[in-house]
Amino acid sequence: MSRSTALKPLREQVIVVMGASSGIGRETARRAAQRGAKVVVAARSPEKLAGLTAEIQAAGGAATAVTADVTVPEQVQHVAEHAAATYGHIDTWAHVAGIGLWARLEETTPAEWQRVLDVNLNGPAHAAMAALPHLRREGRGALIFVSSVEARLALPYQSAYSASKHGVGGLVKVLRLELQHDGLPISVTEILPSGTNTPIFDQARTKIGVRPKPAPPIYQPGIVADAILRAAEHPTREMVLGGVSKAGTTLQGVAPALMDRYLLWTGFRTQRTRIPKSAAAPDNLFQPLAVYDTVEGSLGDQARPVSLTAWLEMRPALKRVLAGGLLGWAALSALQTLRERRTE
């Protein structure tokens, strides 16, 4: 982030939410509007967007919708142009759009592989290309990419998804460096959620014989939406949401073979529900489904509404104080032990 990056309060912002028809994106748009932001929502389904904008407007918020597929650069460009034409500028672009595919690599077709990477990796690149000219003109702003803990880890059945999210991590790092080199006060944030109870699992194409689910623990979408809105006001490099994910990414860095053993033990079975679903069942890989215009998916009974580690991620000053206190306590304990040994 640039040294001088200072972002507006949400009530003064124009926020684009790409991937707003359901799940995290839908909840982000709702919460941003509740806090006074002018919201531009975009996704592939005009019907779902119409319902969302009507809900926001009925509650007294300001929202407009644009139908767009993130794999088509011209359509993403139109979203940015529509936002600027409607509200005068763009302050934050929150890119949430994504799709999933649950299948072993050898059962994945080239077309399926390409589609997942087009949406999950090319889509964020198209978004940055469309948003940056507007953020430059505004003189500041935020680009926020909702990635996944799979940008650091890799789960079985998700080769295309994991590859795409690893790619987003590289995209974000390069973009951040380029903007810092230019001295531009535009923050670039990568948010890495744990498994989240969104309709992605209900809509996804699966070749594992059952409806997939995220590896536990599972969290509600509002946790991620709050992280996005935090980053829209406070320049943030990244946020890993969920204690298990924090531990897993740390372990992956220091003991990858041990992490492999853990995922061999848990990664396959924990992603399987007991609900049969064939590969021929309707899915949203290439076309949106008419249903699932909701924030939450079907795992509400298993999802946690809060995460202490996510709460701390959104309060970096408090996290530093606690970390400093912990280090201080450890140092004092070590010093006390040393003194006791000297007196023996």
Q: How many CB atoms lie within 10 A of CB 247?
A: 13
Q: Which of 87, 161, 219, 292 is catalytic?
A: 161
Q: Which pair of structure tokens corresponds to residue 343?
A: 């007196």
8 Å CB contact between 212 and 102: yes
Nearest CA to 231 out of 164, 313, 153, 165 is that of 313
| Beta partners for residue 102, in sequence order | 206
Cβ atoms of 22 and 294 closer than 8 Å: yes
Q: Which helix (H) or strand (E) holds 190?
A: strand 186-193
Helix (H) or strand (E) holding 303: strand 303-304
Q: Radius of gyration over alpha carbons of the chain, in Å?
A: 21
Exposed/middle/buried for residue 19 (C-beta within 10 Å: 0-12, 13-18, 19+) = buried
Query: Is 161 tagged catalytic?
Result: yes
Pairing of β 210-212 and β 272-276: antiparallel
d(CA 145, CA 142): 10
Write out the catalytic residue numbers: 161
